[in-house]
Amino acid sequence: MDLGLSGKVFVVTGGAQGIGEAITRQIAAEGGVPVIADRAKEAGECLLEALRSQEQQAHLIEVELGTSASCQQVVEETLSTFGRLDGLINNAGVNDGVGLEDGSPEAFLASLEKNLHHAYYLAHFAVDVLKEAQGVIVNIASKTALTGQGHTSGYAAAKGALLALTREWAVELLPYGVRVNAVVPAEVATPMYERWLQTFDVPEEKRAEITRRIPLGQRMTTPDEIASMVVYLSSAQAAHMTGQLIHVDGGYVHLDRALAGI
């Protein structure tokens, strides 16, 4: 299926690793141009080299997205390099474990700055050109926004806000044909997730405990499965979808755990 992304330019935040890398690769494979906005310089350069070796176009902006100025820089550099911007994929974020009891007001604010503020900043600076292009915004949220997790107030609040902004922006941008949707992952097999598992005394036992609670197949979602939905939502194949919160999670959030034998 031709998704019609050829020549279209998409900013992918956190696009060098994990889910972001999978999104970047799939956009490039469809003939789109991913602009990787990421602070991970080495990973970004390796990915850029890999894409170019396959004669796929991409661009890397090494950036810390914590300020409005840095986000404005991403939009301006994208436009000066390519002369267009067709989509914004707000993927960057990290479950940083800032809780209620064991956190602090300062840590909570820092978590919001790390996980939420850049999504608004980028959308704000990109909105005019997205309106011209009748472009798209896809926000990557998290099941923690809907289920809770414990000891992650900052991340859960940021992802909950991102779901609210998905529908708010979808309404505000309706007159311009700009579509805004969110993808909501649960347990995704990324390198970051693997590093977290390795903090347990018996990582394989923890992995088994988690996967047996996932109704469909008792396995984690792959980054490519998240990316496939993101790329679909970014394409004309999803031309009449906006304001949607799409769960790609093997039924984790909505299906009864009894189905997984729990």
pTM listed for this prediction: 0.96
Q: Which residues pair with 182 in a beta bridge?
A: 139, 245
Q: Are residues 202 and 245 in the same domain?
A: no
pLDDT at 150: 94
- Quick check: is 107 in a domain? yes
Q: Are residues 200 and 156 in the same domain?
A: no
pLDDT at 260: 62
CATH code where residue 17 lies: 3.40.50.720
Is 155 one of the annotated active-site residues of the chain? yes
Mean pLDDT of 49-69: 97
**What residue type is assigned to position 261 of the chain?**
G
Q: Are 226 and 250 in contact (CB under 8 A)?
A: no
Q: Are residues 200 and 114 in the same domain?
A: no
Q: Are 17 and 194 in contact (CB under 8 A)?
A: no
pLDDT at 191: 87
Q: What is the total count of domains within the chain? A: 2
Structure tokens at 97: 């474990």
Rounded-to-integer distance, Cα 242 and Cα 239, Å:
8
With cut-offs at 50, 70 and 90, classify the pLDDT of residue 256.
confident
Does the structure show a pLDDT above 80 at 206?
A: yes
pLDDT tens for each residue of 222-240: 999 999 999 999 999 999 9
Does the structure show a pLDDT above 90 at 86?
A: yes
- Quick check: is 261 in a domain? no
Q: Provide the residue range defining the domain that includes 199.
A: 189-220
Q: Are 26 and 5 in contact (CB under 8 A)?
A: no
Q: What is the mean pLDDT of the chain?
A: 96
Rounded-to-integer distance, Cα 126 and Cα 118, Å:
12
**Tokens 């099941």 belong to residue:** 143
Catalytic residue among 155, 193, 232, 252: 155
Mark out the alpha helices in 30-176 (DSSP H runs): 41-53, 68-82, 105-112, 118-133, 144-147, 153-172
Rounded-to-integer distance, Cα 92 and Cα 4, Å:
25
Q: Are residues 103 and 127 in the same domain?
A: yes
Q: Are residues 155 and 54 in the same domain?
A: yes
Residue from 105, 111, 59 nearest 82 by CA: 59
With cut-offs at 50, 70 and 90, classify the pLDDT of residue 253.
very high
